[in-house]
Structure 1
Amino acid sequence: MSDVQQRIDDLVKNNRVVLFMKGNAQFPMCGFSGRAVQILKACGVTDLKTFNVLEDEEVRQGIKEYANWPTIPQLYIGGEFVGGSDIMMEMYESGELQQALGGQ
C-alpha cells in the first residue's frame, strides 16, 4: 500500500463518518460536495470528518483509486465506502442512509 493509500485508509478506519470533498463542511467548493454535506446534516450527523481534497493533490487522486470510484465527494461510514452525492441522495430518500448512520 502506498503512503497516500495508507493515509486514506487511516482516515477512513479511524473516523466513523468521513466525507472526502471539495472544500469543507462550512464552505463547500462544489455543488455536489455541498449537497453531500446538507444530506448528512439532514440525517443529524454530529461526528462528520471532512477532508478537503483541493488541499492535497495526492489524496485527490489517491481516493479515486482507493474506492475505485472516479468522482468526489466520497462518503465512508464505519470504514465502508458508501458512494457519491447521487447515491447519498437516493439512500437518504429511501431511508437507507439514516439506517447506515445508525439513526443518530
Structure 2
Amino acid sequence: MNLEPVSEGHPDVIAYRKLPMPINSVSARQFKLQLLSRGLLDNVDDWVATQSRDVRIGHEYSGTFVKYSPMMAAGFAAMGFTDKQIVAFFIAASKKFD
C-alpha cells in the first residue's frame, strides 16, 4: 500500500474533487416544491395529517428536511419510495433555488 502524499494537481485528486457531494438535506421550500412538481404534495399533506403531533409540527415548521431522519424514512416508506428514488428526489429538490 502506497501511503505517500500526492500533489493537489494529481489526476486522482482532481477526479475526487469533481465527484458530486451527496445531498443529505434540502430547505423546506425546496422539499415542498419538489413534492408539488411530482404531484405528491396533497398526498403527503394528507399522510402528515394522520401522524403524531410531533411529526405534524416537524413537517410544518422545519426549515430543513434531512434525508434519513425518522420522519423522512416513515414518509417515504408510506409513499412507497425506494432508496434510489429518495436519492433522486433529494437531488432534484436541491436544484430548486431558494
Q: Is the TM-score greater than 0.5? A: no
Higher relative contact order (CA 8 A, sep 6+): 2
Please identify which structure carries the higher strand content.
1
Please identify which structure carries the higher helix content.
2
Q: TM-score, normalised by structure 2?
A: 0.25
